[in-house]
Amino acid sequence: MPVLTVAAEGLPHLGEIVVAALGEAAQRCDDVRRRVASEGDTAPEVTVRASEEHDVVIVGAGVAGLSCALECFDIRLDTVVLEADARIGGQVAEIPHSVRNLAAGRFANGAELQRALEDSAAILGARLRLAQGVVEVNLGERSVELGDARLQGRTLVLATGTRHQHLPAAPDGAFGGDVTYQLESRPGHFARRTVAVIGGGDSGTLDALELARGGSSVKLVHRSEELSARRDIVRAVRAEPGIEDLPGWELESVSGGERLEEVVVRRADGQRRRLAVGGLVVKIARVPRTELFRGQLDLDHAGAIIVDRELYTSCPGVVAAGDVVAGAYARIGTAIGHGMLAARSALRYLQEGA
Which residues of this chain interact with ligand FAD, rule CB under 6 A? Answer: 59-65, 82-85, 90-92, 94-95, 99, 101, 133-134, 159-162, 289, 292, 322-323, 330-333, 335
Single-letter code of the amino acid located at 231: R
Which of 95/275 has CB closer to ligand FAD? 95
Which of 278/288 has CB closer to ligand FAD? 288
Which of 281/335 has CB closer to ligand FAD? 335
The answer to whether residues 132 and 65 touch, using CB atoms and an 8 Å cutoff, is no
Distance CA 221, CA 169 (A): 15
Which of 53/83 has CB closer to ligand FAD? 83
Backbone φ and ψ for 167, nearest 5 degrees, come out as: -85, 125
Which of 30/184 has CB closer to ligand FAD? 184
Minimal distance, residue 268 CB to ligand FAD, in Å: 29
Which of 73/249 has CB closer to ligand FAD? 73
DSSP H stretches of helix in the chain: 19-39, 63-74, 110-121, 174-177, 202-213, 231-238, 332-352
Residue with nearest beta carbon to ligand FAD? 161
**Strand ranges (DSSP E) for 110-191?**
128-129, 136-138, 143-145, 149-158, 162-163, 179-180
What is the separation, in whole angstroms, between the first and last Cα of the chain? 51
Minimal distance, residue 55 CB to ligand FAD, in Å: 18
Minimal distance, residue 94 CB to ligand FAD, in Å: 5
Which of 152/160 has CB closer to ligand FAD? 160
Nearest to 221 by CA among 235, 201, 191, 241: 201
In this structure, is the dihedral angle defined by the CA atoms of residues 290, 293, 298 and 301, taken in order, positive or negative? positive
Nearest to 128 by CA among 119, 136, 139: 119
Torsion, Cα of 248, 161, 151, 141 (10° steps): -60
What is the number of helices (H) and of strands (E) in the chain?
7, 18
Which of 65/204 has CB closer to ligand FAD? 65
Minimal distance, residue 351 CB to ligand FAD, in Å: 25
Distance CA 170, CA 136 (A): 30
Minimal distance, residue 182 CB to ligand FAD, in Å: 7
